[in-house]
Structure 1
Amino acid sequence: MAMGTLITAAVVLAGLNTLLLLPLVGVWIRNYNTFGTGLVGGLVLFAVAMLAENAMAIYFFFSMASFYSGDPGVQKVVLILRGLQFVAIAALSYTTLR
């Protein structure tokens, strides 16, 4: 079954979130090895959890496409949540990598 436009956009955002998180993990692991603070360790755990969540979301978008494609309301909510997550991760990436 083909995915609708909204769900396709949500999958793209989940992929972008994953790509943004990868360099953050690297920077924060390097910082943790240098400073060893609990705050940086928490950032590493946050990024790893978000990577896992986005990877699972992409998997479920493809394996359970019929679940998401059945209700346009669900599609809108999923897209909005992925979009909000993208904005948050993009802001965090900008702050961390500049």
Structure 2
Amino acid sequence: MAMGTLITAAAVLAGINVLLLIPLLGVWVRNYATFRTGLVAGLVAFALAMLVENAVALYFFFSMQSFYAGDPHVQQAVLVLRALQFVAIAGLSYTTLR
């Protein structure tokens, strides 16, 4: 069964989130090695959690397509949540990497 347009867009956003989180994690791990502060440790933990969450989401998008296929409202909600997560991670990426 082919993925619907909304779920395909959500999967693409999850993939982009993973790609944005990898350099963020690298910067924050490097910063933690230098500063050893609780704030930076929290950022590392955040990046790891979000990276795992998005990777697991990608797995489910491709392995359990029928889970999302039944209800267009669920598909729309999943897409909106992925989009909000992308905005948050993109904002963090912008401020961290500039």
TM over 0.5: yes
User: Could you list the runs of 4 or more consecutive aligned residues of structure 1 that deviate by over 6 angstroms after TM superposition?
Assistant: none
In the superposition, the TM-score normalised over structure 2's length comes to 0.99
- Report the counterpart of residue 79 of structure 1 in structure 2: 79
- Report the counterpart of residue 47 of structure 2 in structure 1: 47
Deviations 1:54-92 (A, max 9, x none): 000000011110010111000000000000000000000
Distance, in Å, in 2 between the alignment partners of 1:64 and 1:26 is 31
Deviations 1:31-62 (A, max 9, x none): 00000000000000000000000000000011
- Report the counterpart of residue 11 of structure 1 in structure 2: 11
**Where does the alignment leave 5 or more consecutive residues of structure 1 unmatched?**
none
- For the pair 1:63 / 2:54, whether they are aligned, the reply is no
Report the alpha carbon displacement of residue 28 of structure 1 after superposing the two structures with TM. Answer: 0.2
Across the aligned residues of Structure 1 and Structure 2, the Cα RMSD in angstroms comes to: 0.4
Amino acid at match of 2:79: L
SS of the aligned residue for 2:22 comes to: helix
Counting aligned pairs with the same residue, the percent is 78
State how many pairs are aligned: 98
In the superposition, the TM-score normalised over structure 1's length comes to 0.99
Distance, in Å, in 2 between the alignment partners of 1:11 and 1:48 is 19
